[in-house]
Copies of this chain bind each other. A is one copy, B any other.
């Protein structure tokens, strides 16, 4: 399984209670070679810290949140997304994850149009700076808080309006495993798969936004899903993104050991 471990990337939100330098140290100590930092944890020198520890950044989380009530606010979002592109490039990754945002007023159609317009505005800037955009469909239960893009089909409909080298999708097992269309859409996705994220679906699920389980602790058939992702040709890093405050009860070293074991045994 050593080849697999070489693809393991630790998504920083899995240890949201730690600072970036603590996560870097714990990853390096556990022999994890990739990290996916979040913008709210980045300080000056983050890129140097990551490199100095021998790590690489698999993606930056996150841009997006395109819909907003006014044109002025949407321009602010556009500016913030350009800053996110800059930060992705600065931290040494060529992938910015897009969480597209909820509807400000319950009008899903209008919000979905604003997502498309936001990506159209951002894509040329991202390409110019060597950063690809990965549209991440989120689970439909997060539509009120996080994203009006809720299926892989919908994310691909958006991505396919752009060059395949510039805009693709982020496939997160937790967000897409329920979808009866999943296998067909993965077959369609091909080279548009820019990233693959794993965690597990607990039964019962303790929280809509932060109730994820470690791989193997829930009911997602991750080996089967992995087979379909492999069949797309995706060979990049696999991010472990387990958003759950219970992770803070483990020491950093215990958490990394758990992530490694779950990744090897169950994903």
Contact = CB atoms under 8 A, between A and B. Distances in A.
Interface of A: 102-103, 106-108, 112, 139-141, 143-145, 150-151, 153-154, 177-181, 201-205, 208, 219-221
Q: Quick one: copies of this chain in the complex?
A: 2
Contacts of A103: 219
Given A178-B150, A180-B112, A107 B221 contact: yes
Contacts of A150: 178-180
A141 B208 contact: yes
Contacts of A112: 180
A179 B221 contact: no
A197 to B, nearest CB: 17
Contacts of A203: 102, 144-145
Contact of A108 (B141, B181, B221): B221
A133 to B, nearest CB: 19
> Which of A154, A219, A221 gathers most chain B CB within 10 Å?
A219
